[in-house]
């Protein structure tokens, strides 16, 4: 049995950095797509899909906030 090596970020919820990067990128792209869709919806009078962008904004923003506070922030090393 081997002892795990200590890390700079021992309280990481998602230990695989590739997974953290992929999830963060997916949430970032989803946020940007939603922002563009909302801008286009507001700029073109013939479009009206606010019934989709409103709830999507709440969901994506909430998930992004949870990911940031629960996964990304605890992974940042602190100076001692």
The alpha carbon of residue 51 and the mean position of all alpha carbons in its chain are separated, in whole angstroms, by 22
Taking the C-alpha atoms of residue 14 and residue 19, their distance in angstroms, rounded to an integer, is 7
- CA distances 55 to 15, 50, 58, 61, Å, are 31, 8, 5, 10
Distance CA 34, CA 54 (A): 9
**Number of helical (H) and strand (E) elements in the chain, helices listed first:** 3, 0
pLDDT digit string, tens, across residues 14-68: 778 888 889 999 999 999 999 999 999 989 989 888 899 999 999 999 999 999 9
pTM of the model: 0.73
């Amino acid at each position: 049995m081997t002892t795990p090596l200590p890390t700079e970020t021992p309280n990481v919820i998602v230990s695989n950095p590739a997974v953290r990067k992929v999830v963060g990128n997916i949430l970032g792209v989803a946020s940007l797509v939603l922002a563009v869709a909302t801008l286009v919806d507001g700029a073109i009078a013939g479009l009206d899909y606010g019934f989709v962008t409103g709830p999507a904004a709440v969901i994506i923003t909430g998930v992004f906030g949870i990911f940031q506070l629960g996964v990304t922030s605890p992974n940042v090393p602190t100076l001692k």
